[in-house]
Structure 1
Amino acid sequence: MTISKPEPAVSDTAPHHLRDVFDALPPMPDVRAEVIEGKVILSPLGTPEHSWMASDLHDALLPLRREHGWRGAPGGVNVCIEGPRDSCQPDYVLSPPDCPRWGHLELLSSGILLAAEVVSPGSARIDRDDKPKVYAKGKVPVYLLIDPIGDEPGVTVYSKPVDGAYTSMTKVTVGSPITLPEPVGFELDTSIFKG
């Protein structure tokens, strides 16, 4: 006679995925919490200058937003990366008003038009190295990287995501115009990011 051990009970509320752990975290004011490539990343909020650059981008895109009825949000909007279910909080998000969502609080990455990050000392590696991969995996059509702290302050546009990687990249120094390709279709004067 063989006696089998009963399987341990698994709670229906026990987290089965890192994303479930992330979703169970309490609100943390003054901290940006993201899941990036399977890791929970906590970072301090940026300086006022950091926030102002995102707001300046928001203002620059106002004519485009009005023309198309698009929504823009400097900070505070989470984006769920389809596939790995990573959760990112870009410094700026441009989306149509009917952008699909993951739950009530997050926009789905493939439904947004543009994600932008402003590099700060605490986010440099993540914004420059990790975020292009994460946003491309999530099929974000345009990733705008504003880098005021590089050796030469610059702005980079990543576009045309294919198989989890961007196939097009354009970089200019701050002060030069740069094209935000379709679906955005806008020439951005980057002199708005001069500090």
Structure 2
Amino acid sequence: MTVMAERTVQMSVEEFERIAELVERESDAVRLEFIHGRIGIRGMTDGDHSEIIRWLQKRCMRVRADLWLYAGGELGLQVEAYRKGRAKPDAVLAPERTFVGQGDWADPEGVLMTVEVTSYDSDTDRRDREEKPAAYAAAGIPLYLLIDRDHGTVTVHSDPAVDGYRYRQVADFGTKILLPDPVGIELDTEDLKEFVR
């Protein structure tokens, strides 16, 4: 019998950013993140995932024309002061021009809300329900919206603290839920029923 030893390799943020740039330049099918000292890999989104982001963007613009929903996971954010994490949310709500002059991994200052839509992969539980809310709260982002296709729910996390968000509100698809200040938008989630398997 062969015994394999598990080794933990420490990687600097600079090393991660070089690897992420190379991978993403070569493949449109993969996005890399660096949260809690680990590299995470996210595959391509499906059509329903994209429709959910479009749905949210339309509602936000209808009520808050002063904000923009930066969508598609193209915007990277610096999260986690301790481990210098890097995350690519499915969408980011912020005032227009918040990210002017920033590089691939933007400072989260000015971000009002991050959004994740669950994917149908084995890693979504840990990534979207545990690691991402902890990282976004630690970065001081006021709201985290999780659109959970597995459970048919929308969860609004608010009141960020170093150890996570202090408040969570959960609503089933088909009901209304308020995105509290500083966003101040009520969402009617009836349409989300169309975008689940």
Could you say which TM-score interval applies, normalised by the shorter chain? 0.7 to 0.9
Please state whether the residue corresponding to 1:170 is helix, strand or coil.
strand
* Residue 74 (structure 1) aligned to one of 65, 71, 74: 71
Percent of aligned pairs with the same residue? 30
Aligned to 1:135: 136
Please state whether the residue corresponding to 1:109 is helix, strand or coil.
coil
Maintained 8 Å contact 1:102/1:108: no
Structure 1 spans left out of the alignment, 5+ residues: 1-15
Aligned: 1:106 with 2:105:
yes
Instruction: Identify which range, 172-181 or 108-117, moves more after superposition.
Output: 108-117
Aligned to 2:118: 119
Amino acid at match of 1:160: D
Using the alignment, how far apart are the partners of 1:80 and 1:54 within structure 2? 21
Aligned to 1:12: none
- In the superposition, the TM-score normalised over structure 2's length comes to 0.82
Aligned to 1:18: 12
Deviation at 1:110, TM superposition (A): 3.5
- In the superposition, the TM-score normalised over structure 1's length comes to 0.83
Deviations 1:154-188 (A, max 9, x none): 00000011233111110010111111011101111
Using the alignment, how far apart are the partners of 1:74 and 1:149 within structure 2? 21
Residues 101/160 of structure 1: CA separation in 2 closer, same or farther (3 Å cut): farther
Instruction: Identify which range, 40-49 or 100-109, moves more after superposition.
Output: 100-109
Aligned to 2:3: none
Residues 79/17 of structure 1: CA separation in 2 closer, same or farther (3 Å cut): same
Using the alignment, how far apart are the partners of 2:180 and 2:154 within structure 1? 14
Aligned to 1:10: none
Deviation at 1:29, TM superposition (A): 1.6
Aligned to 1:193: 192
Aligned to 1:63: 62
Q: Which runs of 4+ in 1 moved over 3 A?
A: 100-103
Aligned to 1:156: 155
Amino acid at match of 2:13: R
Structure 2 spans left out of the alignment, 5+ residues: 1-9
Using the alignment, how far apart are the partners of 1:58 and 1:48 within structure 2? 15
Using the alignment, how far apart are the partners of 1:149 and 1:193 within structure 2? 12
Structure with the greater alpha carbon radius of gyration: 1
Using the alignment, how far apart are the partners of 2:125 and 2:100 within structure 1? 28
Using the alignment, how far apart are the partners of 2:101 and 2:150 within structure 1? 33
Deviations 1:117-153 (A, max 9, x none): 0011222321011111111111110000000112xx1
Using the alignment, how far apart are the partners of 1:64 and 1:32 within structure 2? 31
Amino acid at match of 2:129: R
Deviation at 1:31, TM superposition (A): 0.6
